[in-house]
């Protein structure tokens, strides 16, 4: 069994911990938190061993009545691999600790690409991570874009991608985020960081991205225009994308007209935390005009990278190939709406 340490037990870390626990070839060795809070209490209620990410704050856990197993360094030393799910920039600070214990590490998309040996998306470049010491699982938006681009490149060839990303202002629990009553170009310059980030997965891709922030918390929304090297009709593209296990093609009959109903649907079908691990592409939005493809897709920013982290663990350690890992992760997590 692969012994997995999870450093950071917040929005991403707690979801990765639950997903790793579901895998038949992995164990959660423990999780690390910087301070006691409701997530630390929940980790113990779920029987995860809890470690102090900052040794100087270890006494705060005792004062809160929470038993810790030790400092995060002990967790890292015993693990086969670490999933660093700390806030942006903290992973870079932790890198030296992972290197000191000779433990390979996964980082999240908020870290700089030059921190790691390779960026990772399971559908697009799984093999690049094999044997790497430091791997970055790209952000929720880059994950969503890469999942669509990969099959299009393989089937038709891609001349250019143009994407407008309408991004939520903050996650539901991020009470300090915004805007509250505004629509912001973010950034106001072009391209947004998402295009260059996608190019860490597809080095030769021509892509322009624009970003916006809106007063919403549920999901991001992408408007895509992809110029292809062939001229398929829309029906062919729908069939191609429907065959992708992490793309949910929303049928018109379901009458899901936005993020709110998508989240309601996720709750109704019993998804944990109402998570949607798949890209959500509106079937009737998939349109073609000559060699230009258009579509809308929703991206659940809190969860779409979770299966990617699971697959990256196997990729780094050489425990499975892409098809085997993706199938195993999908089956255990219940991916496929």
| Binding site per annotation, positions | 11-12, 110, 139-141, 168, 194-195, 301
Supply the angle between the helices 11-21 and 306-317 in degrees, to the nearest 10. Answer: 60
d(C-alpha 221, C-alpha 37), whole Å: 31
Strand, helix or coil for residue 145: helix
Map tokens 């094999």 to a residue.
130
d(C-alpha 267, C-alpha 261), whole Å: 10
Feature table: binding site for D-glyceraldehyde 3-phosphate: 139-141, 194-195
Catalytic residue among 50, 75, 116, 140: 140
Residue 67: DSSP 8-state: -
SS3 content of the chain, % helix, strand, coil (to 5): 40, 25, 35
To the query of whether residue 140 is one of the catalytic residues in this protein, the response is: yes
Asked if residue 83 lies in contact with residue 10, where contact means CB atoms within 8 angstroms, the answer is no
Report the chain's terminal Cα–Cα distance, integer Å. 29
d(C-alpha 112, C-alpha 108), whole Å: 9
Paired sense of beta strands 287-289 and 70-71, if any: unpaired
d(C-alpha 16, C-alpha 27), whole Å: 12
Strand, helix or coil for residue 329: helix
Length of the chain: 337
Feature table: binding site for NAD(+): 11-12, 110, 168, 301
Tokens of 142: 């880059």
Q: How far is CA 293 from CA 7, 169, 191, 289, in A?
A: 40, 28, 20, 7
Burial class of residue 290, CB neighbours in 10 A (0-12, 13-18, 19+): exposed
Catalytic residues: 140
């Amino acid at each position: 069994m692969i012994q997995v340490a999870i450093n950071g037990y917040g929005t991403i870390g707690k979801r990765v911990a639950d997903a790793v626990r579901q895998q038949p070839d992995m164990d959660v060795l423990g999780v690390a938190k910087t301070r006691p809070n409701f997530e630390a209490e929940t980790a113990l209620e779920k029987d995860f061993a809890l470690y102090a990410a900052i040794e100087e704050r270890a006494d705060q856990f005792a004062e809160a009545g929470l038993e810790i197993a030790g400092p995060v360094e002990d967790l890292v030393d015993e693990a086969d691999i670490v999933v660093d799910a700390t806030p942006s920039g903290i992973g870079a600070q932790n890198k030296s600790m992972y290197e000191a214990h000779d433990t390979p590490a996964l980082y999240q998309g908020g870290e700089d690409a030059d921190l790691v040996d390779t960026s990772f998306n399971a559908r697009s470049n799984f093999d690049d991570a094999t044997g790497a010491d430091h791997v970055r699982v790209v952000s929720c938006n880059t994950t969503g874009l890469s999942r669509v681009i990969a099959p299009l490149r393989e089937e038709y060839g891609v001349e250019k991608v143009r994407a407008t990303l309408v991004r939520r202002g903050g996650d539901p629990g991020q009470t300090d985020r915004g805007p509250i009553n505004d629509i912001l170009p973010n950034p106001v310059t072009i391209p947004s960081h998402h295009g260059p980030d996608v190019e860490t997965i597809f080095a030769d891709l021509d892509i322009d991205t624009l970003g916006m922030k809106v007063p919403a918390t549920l999901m991001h929304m992408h408007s895509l225009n992809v110029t292809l090297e062939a001229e398929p009709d829309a029906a062919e593209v729908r069939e191609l994308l429907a065959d992708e296990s992490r793309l949910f093609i929303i049928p018109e009959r379901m009458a899901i007209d936005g993020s709110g109903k998508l989240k309601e649907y996720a709750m109704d079908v019993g998804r944990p935390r109402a998570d949607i691990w798949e890209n959500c592409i509106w079937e009737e939005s998939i349109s073609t005009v000559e060699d230009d493809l258009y579509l809308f897709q929703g991206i659940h920013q809190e969860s779409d990278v979770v299966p990617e982290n699971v697959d990256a663990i196997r990729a780094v350690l050489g425990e499975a190939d892409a098809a085997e890992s993706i199938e195993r992760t999908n089956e255990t997590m219940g991916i496929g709406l």
